[in-house]
């Protein structure tokens, strides 16, 4: 599996920079910056929240505990239940969603946008789901190189996907991964009635239980994955998505020219930054209607000492290695970590220029390439429209025509997830 390694735009209250440390399951973070973000960089604060990889962090408890599932239906009269990443410290009760990019509400719908030469939009739910049903009404984006996604993604890279490739409006692609392990046999397409996913509303569901996954479009089950069919005789493990995951929706430029050729080919060719939609309304876009989450009971043998948060207890990161606890999920400051949640509680945590931008694409996976980028991460809002600035294009990878040795993991989360590092207590 190839990872994107993204540089940090680094600052502390004293504007003292430090060198970004990359991390992986074979090269964990050190104790000073113990949290490994899903883009393979070590830090504190937001690095320890959604997407923090416990297997690549200093220790399993470096990442903050994960807020438990909450059954809820979301509509889009406004963005009152969403905040930009620079404002989120782990209180999912105060904010259901975090996001990057430019989003707006219109006619009761959420509009995820991608202006020319941007990395688009990521909208992520802050409550983790440990089995359940997610449902969303979508009108996909359109155009070659433009990809819309609706996925479940865990911090150890278990993943269940819907993806719409804008070059083909007749179908939606489905896929799954177990701990980020690549297997091209996991993908499959579903034809969508009417043959126009951009102009026509359709309802897409992922029904995920400990025994199976169903992909359901407009009430009809089109694909089923049974856990029993994922057993690996060599590893003696079920390679089935089985760990708490976040619902994430995104719009990203798979066809940008800096991407791997396999990604560009899969996305239908290079993106047209002078497309009809960009010329008409100023951006490519996808439209999201009502979204709902229904939580299922956790596994019957799950370890329980509370009801507020999920924790990994063993590095195998399988279903049996997760505990349900009453542990706090909220960091006191952007210098705090899972190792000391209260660090910096009495100090200022301002400093929004400390916002690393990631390279985009591929479910949060990272590659071995780097690109210089920076961003102010400031946000603007007028009530129904909000954006974050300072993003740079990245280099997402996809399956498409990727070479055998490239081992690129294509999935749907584009890497614009912003994480702040403010060293308020060091």
Q: Could you list the active site residues? A: 159, 163
Kind of pairing between the strands at 171-177 and 159-165: antiparallel
């Amino acid at each position: 599996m190839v990872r994107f390694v993204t540089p940090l735009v680094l600052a502390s209250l004293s504007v003292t920079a430090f060198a970004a440390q990359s991390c992986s399951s074979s090269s964990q973070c050190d104790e000073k910056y113990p949290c490994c973000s899903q883009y393979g960089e070590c830090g504190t604060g937001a690095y320890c929240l959604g997407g923090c990889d416990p297997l690549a962090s200093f220790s399993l408890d470096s990442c903050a505990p994960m807020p438990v599932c909450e059954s809820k239906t979301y509509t889009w009269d406004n963005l009152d239940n969403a905040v930009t990443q620079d404002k989120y410290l782990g209180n999912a009760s105060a904010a259901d969603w975090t996001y990057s990019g430019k989003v707006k509400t219109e006619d009761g719908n959420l509009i995820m946008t991608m202006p020319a030469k941007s990395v688009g939009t990521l909208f992520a739910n802050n409550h983790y789901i440990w089995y359940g049903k997610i449902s969303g009404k979508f009108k996909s984006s359109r155009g070659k190189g433009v990809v819309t996604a609706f996925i479940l993604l865990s911090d150890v890279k278990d993943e269940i996907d819907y993806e719409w490739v804008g070059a083909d409006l007749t179908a939606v692609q489905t896929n799954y991964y177990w701990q980020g392990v690549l297997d091209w046999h996991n993908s499959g397409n579903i034809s969508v009635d009417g043959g126009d996913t951009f102009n026509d509303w359709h309802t897409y569901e992922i029904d995920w239980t400990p025994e199976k996954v169903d992909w359901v479009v407009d009430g009809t089950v089109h694909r089923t994955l049974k856990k029993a069919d994922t057993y690996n005789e060599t590893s003696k493990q079920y390679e089935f998505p089985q760990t708490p995951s976040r619902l994430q929706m995104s719009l990203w430029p798979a066809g940008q020219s800096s991407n791997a050729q396999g990604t560009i080919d899969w996305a239908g060719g290079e993106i047209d930054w002078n497309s009809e939609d960009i010329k008409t309304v100023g951006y490519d876009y996808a439209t999201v209607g009502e979204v709902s989450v229904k939580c299922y009971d956790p596994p019957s043998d799950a370890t329980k000492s509370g009801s507020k948060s999920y924790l990994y207890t063993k590095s195998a990161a399988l279903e049996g290695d997760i505990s349900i606890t009453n542990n706090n999920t909220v960091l006191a400051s952007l210098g705090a970590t899972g190792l000391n949640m209260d660090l910096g509680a009495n100090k200022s945590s301002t400093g929004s220029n400390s916002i690393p931008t990631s390279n985009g694409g591929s479910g949060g996976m990272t590659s071995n390439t780097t690109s210089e980028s920076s961003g102010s991460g400031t946000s603007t809002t007028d009530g129904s429209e909000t954006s974050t600035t300072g993003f740079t294009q990245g280099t997402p990878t996809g399956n498409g025509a990727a070479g055998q040795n490239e081992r690129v993991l294509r999935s749907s989360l584009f890497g614009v997830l912003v994480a702040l590092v403010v060293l308020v207590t060091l």
